[in-house]
Amino acid sequence: MKPQITQQLLFDYFSGRVSPIQKQLVDEWAKDADHRELFYQSLHAWESQHPQYIVDLDKAMAGHTARMVSKAVKRPDWMRPARPLDGWIRKRGAIKVAASILVAALLCWQFRKPILNRTYTTHYGEVRQINLPDGSTVTLNANSAITVPRFGFGDSERAIGLEGEALFSVKHTQNHSRFVVRTGQNFDIEVLGTEFSVYNRGKSGRVVLNRGKVQLRYDQGPAPKTITMRPGEVVRLNGQGNAHLQKVRNPESLSAWRDNRFVFENTSLTEIAQLFADTYGLTLVISDPELAKWTITGSFTAHNADELLETLMEVSSLSYTRSGNQIQINSHIQSF
Strand partners, 298: 264
Q: Could you name the CATH architecture of 117-253? A: Sandwich (2.60)
CATH 2.60.120.1440 domain residues, the chain: 117-253
pLDDT tens, residue by residue, 68-118: 555 544 545 544 555 555 555 556 666 666 666 665 555 554 555 667 889
Q: CA–CA separation, 298 vs 234, rounded Å?
A: 20
Q: Which residues of the chain have pLDDT under 70?
A: 1-3, 33, 36, 44, 46-114, 193, 332-336
pLDDT of residue 64: 52
Q: What CATH number is given for 260-331 in this structure?
A: 3.55.50.30
User: What sections of 17-72 are H helices per DSSP?
Assistant: 20-30, 36-49, 57-72
pLDDT of residue 336: 39
Question: Which residues are CB-contacts of 265 (< 8 A; sequence separation ≥ 6)?
Answer: 253, 297
CATH 3.55.50.30 domain residues, the chain: 260-331
pTM above 0.85, yes or no: no
